[in-house]
């Protein structure tokens, strides 16, 4: 690294910052955050700079309902990750403390062992894992597998509160789940292609008891070129569990994605959720990757 390293807040009036921000927006996380109802880039986005060049960033997403902030970062490949990350982290933790967070979390693929070593040196500890699973949907027969023991319907424009409520009921006690507001749900629909048919709701006597939220536009797989889709969220109300609804909702979601022409379907699941993992394996999903979550207390 050449020159003196400085870390500072993003300044939308600075042309260099504006250009760098436009580049960052091409990444999924930053593109989504741009329109988040609670996001403040001027307070929560930091740039690392050397010799007049922006060489790294760290972003903070506050999730204060569960006492945490989630960090996202990137450092140029020709610079020492440990040094740049460490300096960015000082500013991020200060901002996290001001925001009222108790802990900072970030995630990284399990294969990034060098990143794990650096995070350990900086006081982070591994606390949780998620499995990234994948299905080649051409290998599965779906049409005859979807039963209609419940009533299914697509999301409607007036369902924001309904979808927020069922998400919170399904995931209230799940690790890392930040309770949703109606504003969150509206935002999520906007950034996830705003396609009502991607959200399937299951009802019992008119009451929503489960849902499968898919994403039908996820680009192409970099290796095979196959069209990708995702099961973004799958949830069943605690009072409706144990009756096979989760499997039926998943099958309905997969059929929807197949009819949309998707070929490879991804889903993320908590590594400790053995019931869900068993279900996914039974339908042909396989382990594609693992994500490790790290935690550091905010001093």
pLDDT in tens, 179-217: 999 999 998 888 888 799 999 999 999 999 999 999 998
Per-residue pLDDT of the chain (299 residues), as tens digits, is 456 899 999 998 988 888 888 777 666 556 666 667 778 889 999 999 988 889 989 999 999 999 999 999 988 877 788 899 999 999 999 999 999 999 999 999 999 999 999 999 999 999 999 999 999 998 787 766 666 778 999 999 899 999 999 999 999 889 999 999 999 999 888 888 879 999 999 999 999 999 999 999 888 988 889 999 999 999 999 999 999 999 999 999 999 999 999 999 999 999 999 999 999 999 999 999 999 999 999 99
Nearest-CA neighbor of 124 among 140, 105, 102? 105
Helix (H/G/I), strand (E/B), else coil: 39: coil
Q: Give the count of domains, the chain.
A: 2
Q: Which two tokens stand for residue 134?
A: 């994948």
Boundary residue ending a domain (77, 101, 125): 101
Does the pTM surpass 0.85? The reply is yes
Same domain, 229 and 277: yes
CATH label of the domain that carries residue 66: 3.40.630.30
Per-residue pLDDT of 90-133, as tens digits, reads 999 999 999 999 999 999 999 999 999 999 999 999 999 999 99
Residue 120 belongs to a domain = no
Same domain, 90 and 161: no
Residue 117 belongs to a domain = no
- Structural domain boundaries enclosing 143: 133-290
Same domain, 19 and 74: yes
């Amino acid at each position: 690294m050449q020159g003196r390293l400085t870390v500072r807040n993003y300044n939308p009036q600075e042309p260099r910052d504006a250009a760098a921000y436009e580049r960052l927006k091409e990444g999924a996380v930053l593109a989504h955050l741009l329109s988040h109802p609670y996001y403040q880039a001027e307070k929560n986005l930091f740039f690392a700079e050397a010799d007049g060049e922006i060489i790294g960033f760290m972003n903070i997403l506050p999730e204060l309902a569960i006492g945490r902030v989630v960090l996202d970062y990137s450092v140029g490949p020709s610079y020492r990750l440990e040094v740049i990350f460490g300096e960015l982290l000082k500013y991020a933790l200060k901002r996290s403390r001001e925001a009222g967070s108790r802990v900072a979390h970030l995630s990284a693929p399990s294969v990034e062992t060098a990143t794990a070593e650096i995070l350990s040196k900086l006081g982070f500890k591994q606390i949780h894992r998620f499995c990234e699973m994948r299905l080649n949907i051409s290998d599965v027969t779906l049409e005859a597998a979807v039963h209609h023991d419940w009533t299914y319907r697509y999301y409607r424009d007036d369902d924001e509160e309904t979808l927020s409520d069922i998400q919170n009921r399904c995931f209230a006690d799940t690790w890392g789940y930040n309770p949703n507001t109606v504003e969150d749900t509206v935002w999520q629909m906007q950034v996830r292609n705003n396609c009502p048919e991607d959200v399937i709701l299951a009802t019992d006597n008119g009451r929503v008891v489960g849902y499968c939220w898919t994403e039908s536009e996820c680009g192409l797989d970099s290796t095979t070129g196959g069209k990708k889709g995702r099961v973004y969220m799958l949830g069943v109300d605690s009072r409706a569990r144990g009756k096979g609804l989760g499997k039926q909702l998943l099958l309905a979601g997969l059929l929807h994605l197949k009819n949309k022409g998707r070929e490879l379907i991804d889903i993320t699941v908590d590594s400790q959720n053995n019931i869900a993992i068993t279900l996914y394996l039974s339908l042909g999903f396989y382990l594609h990757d693992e994500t490790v979550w790290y935690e550091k207390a905010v001093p």
